[in-house]
């Protein structure tokens, strides 16, 4: 398929995708547009669907080949034990996701493995990021690790968004880590659009995004 049709299909899927997603995700695209994000990092790439939508949004403002995406996930190495420990979803093979994201024409960099191991190894090679979406493992240890490394990749205008801020639960998700962020150094906002799911065992789960910026 030539580039024109690939791009056309990517945009059709983009508009279809955006209108079918839970509504909190629109805030991601709004922020990416607002800050004209060029270097985008996602912890928890999963199937690459959100990655693609974030890249396409960035490419509305910046030439497509100048957008860089850095995605971290366990991909095919996710074991069933880890899936339970991280309250995770099963991701596809890294190559499947790479092929899908390469269609955008952005510079796509994927990292496979547990972020508690991979981020310490990769951190010195990574550039400062404009936008970081933290949505990987959901154990406290992993969210704390992901925030520690992500915060080291911030420049003065970087925006970090945490998924899975569960306001009605005392423990679990990103809330304990977000609530403990030093408010004298960072501006922390809980974003207004949220989703409500009724899940067995959870009863009602409210999911919000938390946005973090450096105080300058």
Ligand X SMILES: C[S@@+](CC[C@H](N)C(=O)[O-])C[C@H]1O[C@@H](n2cnc3c(N)ncnc32)[C@H](O)[C@@H]1O
Residues that bind ligand X (CB under 6 A): 42, 44, 46, 49-50, 72-74, 78, 86, 88-89, 91, 114-115, 135-137, 142
Q: Could you count the other beta carbons within 10 Å of the beta carbon of residue 203?
A: 9
Which residue, 185 or 196, has its beta carbon nearer to ligand X? 196
Cα–Cα dist 184/87, whole Å = 31
H-helix or E-strand spanning residue 158? strand 154-165
Question: Minimum Å distance from CB 212 to ligand X?
Answer: 17
Which residue, 63 or 120, has its beta carbon nearer to ligand X? 120
Cross-strand pairs, 160: 132, 212
* 33-34-40-41 Cα dihedral, nearest 10 degrees: -120
Question: Minimum Å distance from CB 84 to ligand X?
Answer: 11
Cα–Cα dist 8/37, whole Å = 22
Cα–Cα dist 166/148, whole Å = 20
Residue in the shown chain whose Cβ atom is closest to ligand X: 137
Cα–Cα dist 66/39, whole Å = 9
Kindly provide the b/e burial profile for residues 148-162, where b requires at least 16 CB atoms within 10 angstroms of the residue's own CB: ebbbebbeeebbbbb
Question: Minimum Å distance from CB 144 to ligand X?
Answer: 11
Question: Minimum Å distance from CB 103 to ligand X?
Answer: 17
Which residue, 33 or 63, has its beta carbon nearer to ligand X? 33
Which residue, 23 or 215, has its beta carbon nearer to ligand X? 23
Question: Minimum Å distance from CB 133 to ligand X?
Answer: 6
CA 65, 70, 74, 77 torsion: positive or negative?
A: positive
Question: Minimum Å distance from CB 3 to ligand X?
Answer: 25
Which residue, 119 or 154, has its beta carbon nearer to ligand X? 119
Which residue, 2 or 80, has its beta carbon nearer to ligand X? 80
């Amino acid at each position: 398929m030539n580039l024109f049709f690939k791009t056309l299909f990517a945009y059709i899927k983009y508009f279809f995708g955006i209108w079918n997603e839970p509504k909190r995700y629109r805030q991601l695209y709004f922020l990416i547009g607002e800050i004209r994000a060029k270097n985008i990092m996602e912890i928890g790439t999963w199937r690459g669907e959100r990655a693609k939508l974030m890249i396409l949004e960035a490419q509305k403002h910046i030439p497509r080949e100048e957008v860089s995406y850095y995605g971290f996930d366990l991909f095919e190495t996710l074991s069933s034990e880890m899936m339970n420990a991280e309250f995770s979803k099963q991701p596809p093979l890294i190559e499947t996701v790479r092929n899908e994201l390469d269609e955008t024409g952005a510079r796509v960099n994927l990292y496979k493995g547990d972020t508690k191991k991979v981020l310490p190894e990769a951190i010195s090679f990574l550039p400062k990021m404009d936008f970081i979406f933290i949505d990987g493992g959901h154990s406290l240890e992993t969210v704390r690790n992901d925030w520690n490394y992500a915060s080291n990749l911030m420049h003065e205008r970087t925006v970090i968004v945490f998924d899975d801020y569960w306001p009605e639960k005392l423990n679990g998700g990103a809330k304990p880590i977000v609530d403990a962020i030093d408010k004298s150094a960072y501006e922390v906002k809980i974003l207004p659009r949220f989703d409500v799911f009724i899940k067995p065992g959870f009863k009602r789960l409210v999911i919000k995004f938390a946005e973090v910026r450096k105080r300058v």
